Amino acid sequence: MSALLSEDVLSHIGKQSEPRREIVTRRDIRKYAIATDNRQAKYLDGDVAPPLFHLHLFWDVVPLSELSPDGVSIDSLLPKFPLEKAMAGGLDITYHKPIKPGDWLTATRTLTNIYEKAGRSGPLIFYEVLMEVRGDDDELVVTEKTTRILR
Amino acid sequence: MSPAPTVGMAIPERQHYCDEVQQMLYNASLWNGHRIHFDMPYATEVEGYPGLVVAGPLMGDWLHQVVDEWLGDAGMITGIEYSNRIAAYVGETVTAGGTVTAYDEATGEVALEVFVKNERDEVLTPGVITATLTSAS
């Protein structure tokens, strides 16, 4: 029995985002490589995307009016949690195939779990989001599990 | 990649200076408008940080890069698990590095424990990276 998490909050487990389809361009790869201090020619020239480039490709592009006052976009996949201060989160990523300019990729995000634990200074809420990135051939390109902690 | 991996071997480290312009370009490239990365009065007075916060995933990228540079064309990163434990701030120099923890010569699979640490030797971003060596040499 959850002390903090209502049935309504927990009912969001399994919720899935609308799939998002984006094209990979050489220019985007180059910008990402430069901004991350990369120094390998294949990435700086945009021939292939460095690992983690899918973050850039699928970060939510929202209108300014939809950002909260601190400049953050509100994740529509998430319910309103009874705790709101975000703590360190973790990522678990599997790279199945390289990403190249011209690739069309589709990302689907699923809220896979919400649970609470007792922390040293009070209760903590954990939630997990699974993002699957696939090519137009439906083959997996990247799988990413994000775990976030709220206190 | 020069020498064949052996368990316990440290890979070459790399330093990154956390500069304002780079933070701006990185967050803009993601479409990340979070004020803690560029709005000094907001970061310090409202959120109580000692300075502008370096974007967490950028340090995740540096974990990848230190291994990817070591691999060169001899292999490919197949996975990572990492977490952002402690923040870094603009103006700091951080160091990325790692140690080989497992290597299977038959399959070419290699695992490394990786880190980004600050000048006080605190590990900010610990992680584990797996890679496959592809070139038979």
Secondary structure of chain B as H, E, C letters: CCCCCCCCCEEEEEEEECCHHHHHHHHHHHCCCCHHHCCHHHHHHHCCCCCCECCHHHHHHHHHHHHHHHHHHHEEEEEEEEECCCCCECCCEEEEEEEEEEEECCCCEEEEEEEEECCCCCEEEEEEEEEEECCCC
Say whether pLDDT at B137 is over 90. Answer: no
Q: What is the pLDDT of residues B108-118, one digit of tens each?
A: 999 999 999 99
Which are the contacts of A105, defined by CB distance < 8 A and separation ≥ 6?
Answer: A21, A22, A23, A24, A54, A57, A99, A133, A134, A135, A141
Number of A to B CB contacts under 8 A, please give it. 91
**B134 confidence band (pLDDT: 50, 70, 90):** confident
**B67 confidence band (pLDDT: 50, 70, 90):** very high
- Amino acid (1-letter code) at residue B100: V
Chain A (78-137) residues lying within 8 Å, Cβ to Cβ, of chain B: 88-95, 98
Does ipTM surpass 0.90 in this model? Answer: yes
Which are the contacts of B71, defined by CB distance < 8 A and separation ≥ 6?
Answer: B1, B77, B131, B133
Give bridge partners of residue B82 from the DSSP assignment: A91, B127
The reply to whether residue B32 touches residue A59, judged by beta carbons under 8 angstroms, is yes
Largest CA distance in chain B: 56
Mean per-residue pLDDT, A66-84: 88
- Residue B26's closest chain A neighbor by CA? A35
Chain A (32-61) residues lying within 8 Å, Cβ to Cβ, of chain B: 32, 34-40, 50-52, 55-56, 59-61
Identify the residue whose tokens are 């995740």: B60
C-alpha neighbours within 13 Å on the C-beta side of residue A54: 28
Handedness of CA A98, A134, B107, B81 (dihedral sign): positive
Mean per-residue pLDDT, A94-101: 98
Residue A143 is encoded by which pair of tokens? 């799988």
